[in-house]
Structure 1
Amino acid sequence: MEKPALHTKKHYAILDGLRGVAAIMVVAFHIMEAHATSHLDQVINHGYLAVDFFFLLSGFVISYAYDDRWSKMNVTDFFKIRLVRLQPMVVMGMIIGALTFYYQDSSLWPTIHQVPVWKTIVIMLIGFTLIPVPPSMDIRGWQEMHPLNGPGWSLFFEYIGNILYALFVRKFSNKALSILVFLSGCLLIHLAVTSPNGDVIGGWSLDSTQLHIGFSRMLFPFFGGLLLHRMVKLTTIKNAFWWASLLTVAVLAMPRIGGSEHLWMNGIYDSLSIILVFPLIVFLGASGEVTGKYATRICKFLGEISYPIYITHYPLIYLYTAWVVGAKISFEEALPMSVLTLIGAVLIAYACLKLYDEPIRIWLKKKGFEKELIAVF
């Protein structure tokens, strides 16, 4: 017997726009990272927290989209929906990474030219599945679980969060979920305050230390977003997109706190941003409405490119970083190229969305891979 259709709900356009704002800040963060001697002196210093913001957004929207729909779908249906939403761009990100890999050969990654093509292809094919590779299979030298496209690590943990939600956490009472979120928050604070670097940066390698960081970064915001949706009572806030965007940029661009002598202070900043400020931003965004044609267009565009730009921009960053480090280029000298890199990331993301991602998802829907696509992250 055919399952009833899953009817489309109201779409949180502002949350889409905020995700795009954070994604562009990630690109800017990675561009500036190439010019920093360490994260202590980096401009756009806390751009790495965008990943934690993405996790919280995902938890909130997934709770909104699916909590009341389990009578009309099963776990397999949920996984199909999520795979169709996320996996095509994962594949494209790995393809772009493979196509640009050998052009990244430089003093920063001096052994790239020694990697046989067959091995790069194998790593790409494994990357299509998001199965992480161990450090022994690294082909770059950074021990990434996805050497062709580093940000794949956060999608790996995103999938884990989705799996935990579908199999177990969706059945939790609000009290049980609150306990999980509280314990996850304690884990996150401990990571941030005791980190040897004074931050939550990490999660991209398949070893015990990095897995600890990855799980600590995913558990609180993802399930905190779930709890936020279940517990919060939304209100009406004027100009919510602009206020929430300004707050998002301010948090991610904030200079380093405490310096090298008080690393724990930056850990406190990271913790408070994830635990308090990001839920506030999501609350603001969910409580507002997009008004005016310009705001509507901006939100729509940012929402459309948010995921594609995040999952496809890093191969460009590899190229940019290899050039900057290899030739010892200052930011002033590199400014035109940095702007071109940012613009290029946006254009590639939009092209991938319109020419590849959307057609693929429409094709999968026609083939019956899922009954209905739901407009969530």
Structure 2
Amino acid sequence: MSHTAAPIQDAPAPDATATGKPHYEVLDGLRGTAAVLVVLFHIMGMTANWSDNGQLVHHGHLAVDFFFTLSGFVIGYAYNDRWGRMGLKQFFLTRLVRLHPLVLLGAVLGVLSFVFDPFAGATQSVIPLRTVAIDFVLIAFLLPHSPLPNRWTDTHSLNSPAWSLLQEYIGNIAYALILRRLKARWLFAILIVTGAGLIWCAAQNNSMDMGSDFGSYWRGTLRMAFSFTLGLWLYRMHDRFPKLRPGWIVLSLVLIAAMCAPRIPQSVAHANGLLEVAMVILLFPLIVLLGAHSQIGRAEMAACKFAGHISYPIYILHYPFLFIYMNYVNFRHPPMQDRLLWASVAFIVVVGFAWSALKLYDEPIRRALKPLTLKR
């Protein structure tokens, strides 16, 4: 199926996929918007000791659900018409080359930030290096490992966002083995079942912020199962919806407004969880549809390309830097003006490092490994 929205005359050409298809540049740009929002959500949470009073991106954890929906849509676009010419081995190698180099770099950064954190005190120094080494090997394969001090109870406590990359891999495996073969009505049936479970979990938890720790990991799988399948279904059906084309800036503002909306007080039972699951079920697919149909000009295209290129590096690499900032806040108890100063520095460092890692590490490695993904 061809890209439905022809580019505006004065816009530069969109980037192309490996098979020459043009990217949905607005969707790439929205991925960048969501990545920045989740980094700000984490920085603000650490600055305010996770008090909602100091948080502006109150629903920033929903970026994960938005990523899953985008991923399902883009996977369907990039690969649905390639089966037959492409086998399972080629698909899995292509996805590994695309995703895993930065997973490994994130694991290395996680170890370095744990071992050499200048603010963590004695609590981390008593952990045997053998334990850290075992945890590194596990997270290098995206496998859960034992929680470490000053890392809460996260399943991937050397680099917390890795939990969602494991879910992404599970979604990719399910797509290759099962989901791609299903008709749209069966995908919709999966959405009904997983959506009902998601509504129940969100209401019980009063939040969609679940899945990154051992106690709720299965709920993270449910989040992925619904949103990834939703993205695949949207790709199958998107030409049947009205083709409104608001563009990246407008849709980014909508996404920002949604994630920055005030949290509903705990006194209103279940309401905050139901608000968040409504965003996932109703708002995010609407944003994806409008983004897929959007046309943009030269300046917006350039911004979308930059945001899209840097989105994955920012997301998977930001937490090891923020762990150090978090321990600075927790162990040094600096005044708020110092916290805000170093939070700003942390954000700049994360963006700068992510761009450098993309250009100096990720892209060269992917170019070198590309022959592995070609059909033999």
Identify the residue that residue 230 of structure 2 maps to in structure 1.
Answer: 224
CA distance in 2 between partners of 1:264 and 1:43 (Å): 21
Structure 1 residue 217 displacement after superposition:
1.2
State the distance in 1 between where 2:151 and 2:113 align: 16
Partner of 1:375: none
Q: Deviations over 1:139-188 (max 9, x none)?
A: 55522221210110000101011111111111111111110011111111
> Quick one: which amino acid aligns to residue 231 of structure 2?
G
Instruction: Measure how far apart 1:46 and its partner are.
Output: 0.5
Structure 1: segments with no counterpart, 5+ residues: 373-377
Is contact 1:191–1:216 with CA below 8 Å preserved after alignment? no
Q: Distance in 1 between matches of 2:318 and 2:246?
A: 30
**Distance (Å, rounded) in 2 between the aligned partners of 1:252 and 1:32:** 13
Alpha-carbon distance between aligned partners in 1 of 2:132 and 2:146, rounded to the nearest angstrom? 15
Read off the aligned partner of 1:305 and give its amino acid letter: I
Aligned residue number for residue 362 of structure 1? 367
Q: Is the 8 A contact 1:244 1:281 kept in 2?
A: yes
Structure 2 counterpart SS, 1:369: helix
- Native 8 Å contact 2:47 2:343 kept in 1: no
Shift of 1:111: 1.9
Q: For 2:317 and 2:151, how far apart are their aligned partners in 1?
A: 20
Equivalent position of 2:212 in the other structure: 204
Tell me, in whole angstroms, the C-alpha distance in 1 between the residues paired with 2:271 and 2:66: 20
The aligned residue for residue 303 of structure 2 is 298
Q: Distance in 2 between matches of 1:221 and 1:33?
A: 25
1:237 Cα offset (Å): 4.0
- Please give the residue correspondences for 1:162-173 in structure 2 after superposition, counting only pairs within 5 Å: 162-173=172-183
Percentage identity across aligned positions? 40
Partner of 1:15: 27
Q: Give runs of aligned pairs for residues 239-258 of structure 1, distance below 5 A.
A: 239-257=246-264
Once the two structures are TM-superposed, the CA of residue 110 in structure 1 deviates from its matched residue by: 5.2
- Distance (Å, rounded) in 2 between the aligned partners of 1:56 and 1:73: 23
Where does the alignment leave 5 or more consecutive residues of structure 2 unmatched? 1-16
Match 1:192 to one of 190, 202, 218: 202
Tell me which of 108, 112, 131 is aligned to 1:95: 108
Find the residue that maps to 2:143 and give its secondary structure: coil
Deviations 1:113-134 (A, max 9, x none): 1122232222112211112224
Tell me the residue number matched to 1:27. 39
Distance 1:253 1:103, change over 3 A: farther
What SS does structure 2 have at the residue aligned with 1:289?
coil
Instruction: Choose which of 265, 269, 272 in structure 1 pairs with 2:275.
Output: 269
Alpha-carbon distance change, 212 to 330 in structure 1, aligned in 2, over 3 angstroms: farther
Is 1:45 the counterpart of 2:58? The answer is: yes
User: Structure 1, residues 63-83: CA drift from partner, whole Å, max 9, x if none?
Assistant: 111112112111111111110
Letter paired with 1:128: A
TM-score, normalised on structure 1?
0.90
The 2-side partners of 1:64 and 1:280 are apart by 17
Q: CA deviation at 1:14?
A: 0.8
| 1:157 has 2:167 as partner | yes
Distance in 2 of aligned mates of 1:236 and 1:329 = 51
Counterpart for residue 353 of structure 2: 348
Structure 2 CA distance, aligned partners of 1:133 and 1:20? 29
Deviation, 1:246, is 0.5
Any conservation in 2 of the 1:53–1:278 contact (CA below 8 Å)? yes
1:62 to 64, 75, 80: 75
The alignment of Structure 1 onto Structure 2 pairs a total of residues equal to: 357
| Residue pair 1:16, 1:302 contacting (<8 A) in 2 also | yes
Amino acid at match of 1:254: A
Aligned residue identity for 2:257 = A
The normalised TM-score by structure 2 is 0.90
Contact 1:134-1:145 within 8 A present in 2 as well: yes
